């Protein structure tokens, strides 16, 4: 009996260790994997899916938070809402916060991207790779350029989101299984940070703040519904979950007349009230302060200092959240002048101008970058820890009608005439 008891304890410990290995960041040897393309997801991940009421081949969504260096895999549950199934520390990403603008700027993309089976690269020189889809329609309409921007292994980045080989093996497996289940496109949300009121207030003086406000509308739509938003581009701007009335979306042309599904509009407006209060409180707390966004070199230096000269198997670039800091406006302006004197211009000059104009961005301006027809509500409060949303958010999400089949993630059954498919917004109508 004693031996049996010890064996059970050992088995339990092994299972727990396996769960930690798959659901958290790991640096493990995968040299033994012969068929990496078809390498199955672990038993512990499959058990976690079952626990969360998910099918193995159900759709996924990928979410990146650049500042804290996190990549999350969200997966559809049987009620068609999405939940986190895995979270990884990004091993390396280059550049600073902000979108990729041109080839060679070392920036990792930010935005909403659609990934298809064709974006999977089983023959990558960096173990395995998934193309981010940059440039998308928004990027192209705004003249942004760049090629081969990937999520890949090897922990080395020049504009990519690089993982360890063990991590990308799992991420690739999640995408592979979802595509096998019939998912046509996987949405990638590459975001600068979790777009809470506190974080938006902390970055309110950034030169990228207007771009981020636009992304936040899509972010909020997902936080409210827990389903990937339908993304379109018009007037060179993103629009989310919008019904075009009597026109079509064209990235470079004027937006058609648009409307938001009533149930969704009501949910967004409810969250907007909470967000406005939280944003006003955060900006008041940060009055006279500016967030300093660290350079890639500063992030690397912080990692090197913590490792104290030890040669790691991988070379992570570190978290911008940990390497950055809040500074008084006068101190920030002096630092930017010092950098400008050393030949750092452009971004520094913009940041310095923002620092000298406190209060330029307020709660009243949040969400104003959407075309007028799309602005049905201000941006809304979000969950800082998406794995465990609070009761208010859960109740609000559940109050929104959900179709039997999620039109944004599952591939629809073949139909003789695509024009007869039920439009997205019809699924939101109250029965």
Is beta strand 325-328 parallel, antiparallel or unpaired with respect to 60-65? unpaired
Pairwise CA distance, residues 26 & 43, whole Å? 16
Pairwise CA distance, residues 57 & 338, whole Å? 54
CB–CB of 146/134 below 8 Å? yes
152 catalytic residue (yes or no): yes
255 catalytic residue (yes or no): no
Q: How many CA atoms lie within 13 A of 231 on its CB side?
A: 26
Pairwise CA distance, residues 310 & 156, whole Å? 18
| CA of residue 195 relative to chain centroid, distance | 10
For 208-244, give one letter per residue: b (16+ CB within 10 A) or e. bbebbbbbbbbbbbbbbbbbbbbbbbbbebbbbbbbb
Pairwise CA distance, residues 249 & 292, whole Å? 38
SS (H, E, C) 63-125: EEECCCCEEEEEEECCCCCEEEEEEEECCEECCCCCCCCCCCCCCCCCEEEEECHHHEECCCC
For 343-376, give one letter per residue: b (16+ CB within 10 A) or e. eeeebbeebbebbeeeeebebeebbebbeebbeb
CB–CB of 424/406 below 8 Å? no
Choosing from 119, 152, 203, 208, the catalytic residue is 152
Choosing from 91, 119, 155, 160, the catalytic residue is 160
Question: DSSP string spanning 2-68?
Answer: HHHHHHHHHHHHHHHHHHHHHHS------TT-S-STTPPPPHHHHHHHHHTT--TT--EEEEEETTT
Four-residue CA torsion sign, 42, 45, 49, 50: positive
The catalytic residues are 152, 160
């Amino acid at each position: 009996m004693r031996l049996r008891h010890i064996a059970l304890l050992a088995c339990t410990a092994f299972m727990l260790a396996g769960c930690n290995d798959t659901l958290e960041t790991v640096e493990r040897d995968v040299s033994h994997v012969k068929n990496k393309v078809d390498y199955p997801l672990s038993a512990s991940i499959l058990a976690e899916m079952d626990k969360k009421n998910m099918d193995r081949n159900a759709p996924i969504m990928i979410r990146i938070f650049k500042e804290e260096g996190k990549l999350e895999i969200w997966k559809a549950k049987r009620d068609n809402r999405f939940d986190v199934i895995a979270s990884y520390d990004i091993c390396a990403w280059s550049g600073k916060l902000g979108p990729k603008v041109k080839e060679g700027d070392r920036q990792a993309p930010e935005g909403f991207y659609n990934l298809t089976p064709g974006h999977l690269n089983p023959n990558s020189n960096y173990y395995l790779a998934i193309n981010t889809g940059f440039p998308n329609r928004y990027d192209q309409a705004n003249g942004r350029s760049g090629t081969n921007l990937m999520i890949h292994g090897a922990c080395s980045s020049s504009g990519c989101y690089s993982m360890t080989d063990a991590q990308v093996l799992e991420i690739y497996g999640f995408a592979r299984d979802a595509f096998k289940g019939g998912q046509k496109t996987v949405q990638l949300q590459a975001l600068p940070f979790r777009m809470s009121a506190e974080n938006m207030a902390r970055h309110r003086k950034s030169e990228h703040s207007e771009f981020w406000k636009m992304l936040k509308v899509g972010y909020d739509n997902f936080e409210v519904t827990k389903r990937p938003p339908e993304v379109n581009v018009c007037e060179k701007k993103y629009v989310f979950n919008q019904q075009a009335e009597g026109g079509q979306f064209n990235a470079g042309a004027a937006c058609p007349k648009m409307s938001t599904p009533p149930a969704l509009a009501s949910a967004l407006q409810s969250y907007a009230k909470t967000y406005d209060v939280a944003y006003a409180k955060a900006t008041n707390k940060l009055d006279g302060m500016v967030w300093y966004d660290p350079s890639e070199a500063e992030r690397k230096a912080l990692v090197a200092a913590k490792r104290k000269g030890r040669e790691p198997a991988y070379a992570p670039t570190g978290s911008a959240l940990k390497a950055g800091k809040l500074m008084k406006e006068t101190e920030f302006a002096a630092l930017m002048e010092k950098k400008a004197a050393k030949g750092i211009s452009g971004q520094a000059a913009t940041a310095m101008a923002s620092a000298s104009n406190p209060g330029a961005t307020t709660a009243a301006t949040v969400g104003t970058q959407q075309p007028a027809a799309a602005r049905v509500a201000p941006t809304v409060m979000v969950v800082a820890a998406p794995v465990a949303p609070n009761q208010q958010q859960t109740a609000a999400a559940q109050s929104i009608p959900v179709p039997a089949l999620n039109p944004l993630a599952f591939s629809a059954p073949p139909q003789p005439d695509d024009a007869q498919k039920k439009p997205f917004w019809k699924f939101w109508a109250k029965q």
